[in-house]
Each structure stands twice: as C-alpha cells, then as structure tokens.
Amino acid sequence: MSISREQQLQYLEAMGIQAWTARQADPAVPVEPQPAAMESPAPAPGKADEPVPEAPTPDVFAASSDVAGLDWPALEARVSDCRLCDLHSSRTQTVFGVGNRNADWLIIGEAPGHDEDQQGEPFVGRAGQLLNAMLQAVGLQREQVYIANILKCRPPNNRDPKPEEVVCCEPYLLRQIELIRPRLILAVGRIAAQNLLNTQTPIGKLRGEVHRFRDTGIPLIATYHPAYLLRSPLEKRKSWQDLQLAVRTLQEQNG
C-alpha cells in the first residue's frame, strides 16, 4: 500500500511531529536528513507472494511446551481461562492480541491498561491512538499488523509486570510468535524490549539498532512506548527514526 505525501503529513501531524517540517526552514537549528518515508512512497507492507519454506523450530519455543501445538482457537481459549498468576483475579478479561495473523509486523507492548482490560483488545486507549498514527506514518493500517503484549492481563493500577507474571504469560506470546512467524518485531517500551531481549539495558540504549529475537533470527527493533511519547513529545523524533529503521530492515530482508 502506498500513501500520498499529504496523507503522510497528516499522520505525522497526528503523531505530533509536524515540527520537523518547520524546523528545516529554521537555519538556527541543525537540519535532520529528510525522513526517507517523506520522500518516497511507503513500502508495500504485505508479505511476498512466494511460499515461505518451513523453518526448523528454534529452541526458544521449547519453553512453551505446555502450549506447543495449540492452534489459534485453542490458544485463545487457553489464555482466556488462564489462572496461572494472581492477575486473573483482578482482570475484567484477558487481552489476547489482535490483527493479521499472517502479518510481517508484530508489535509487542507491555500489558493491558484500563481501556484494554475493558474492551479486550490491546492498545485501544490514548497510547493506542498514537500507536495507530505511528503505524500509519509508515503506511501501515492497524489491521495489517499483529499487536500483542508481554502480559495478557492488566496489572492493578498499571504497575509494572512482576517477573513471575511475565514467566507465566511468556509461553502464550511465544506460541503467537511461532504461529505468526513475523518478519519483524517492534517492541514498544522498556518492559517489552527488556523482556524480549532478556536484558536490563535501558530503552534509550536498546532503541536505534536491529536486534534479533533470541534464537529465531527475527529482527527486533525497540522503540519508546507511545504512552511515554505522549508525556515526552520531543522523543517522537527518535521513535520516527526507529520506525524508519524497521521499514528499511524489512525492505532489506525482502531483498
């Protein structure tokens, strides 16, 4: 899908980064290189038509043996019945994930918040609206990607996930990754990036480069969480760079 420059400017404006255009006219401020996505049509985000050969299952999925082999309906049912950690007692409902199950892009956030817990869908609140705008800025509709979280249940008062909660929930996410076989994972926020990469490195150091998701070889790019961007709009420029890096990474991968 390609979007017009006008549409792209609208999306960028929705992200709150319209200042980039103005700044180029300001000789007092160093000029950033023109964002490539502003100049060229957005890349086609769909998967290449040719069949993808079955790859051997990487070891990372061995840990999910309890859910290994579950298909989508069985996995979704298992998640909605899950009582492995205490979060089941405070949730309204589980938040499984949403989107294209054959997506190139898998977006992984932290955990459901209030709105997501109510609606049963990830990223539907204000942060979700910004995430949608970020995706649209690189030519992606929300429906084209798959969106999930590290946790399927809302932590009370939106506190950080506890390690034991992450451990309980991880097999579900790993099975989703195995079923989707995305070409790229975008980890949004510190919690997602650190857990997926098994590191304590700050998000500011993880972003801006291409990692690999454990032993799958899937490229993983970390960026700031949209909720953080709502509080710190000046960081949107870096997230835009991360998204462009993601687009380039996919383009290079698709050859």
Confirm or reject binding of residue 123 to ligand URA (CB under 6 A).
yes
- The site map against ligand URA for 133-172 (x = CB under 6 A) is ----------------x-----------------------
CB of 24 to ligand URA, least distance (A): 32
CB of 66 to ligand URA, least distance (A): 24
| Member of 3, 15, 67, 127 binding ligand URA (CB under 6 A) | 127
**Neighbour-count burial for 137-151, b at 16+ CB within 10 Å, e otherwise:** bbbbebebbbbbbbb
| Member of 122, 139, 161, 182 binding ligand URA (CB under 6 A) | 122
Tokens of 22: 């103005």
164 touches 150 (CB < 8 A): no
CB nearer to ligand URA: give 41 or 202: 202
Phi and psi at residue 184, to the nearest 5°: -155, 140
Considering only CA atoms, give the Rg of the chain.
18
AA identity, residue 49: D
Confirm or reject binding of residue 132 to ligand URA (CB under 6 A).
no
| Member of 116, 117, 165, 242 binding ligand URA (CB under 6 A) | 116
Confirm or reject binding of residue 99 to ligand URA (CB under 6 A).
no
Alpha helices in the chain (DSSP H): 5-15, 19-23, 36-39, 72-80, 114-119, 126-137, 163-180, 190-197, 203-206, 226-231, 236-254
Tell me the sheet residues that pair with 146: 99, 106
The residue at minimum Cβ distance from ligand URA is 109
Footprint on this chain of ligand URA (rule: CB under 6 A): 109-113, 116, 122-123, 127, 149, 189, 227
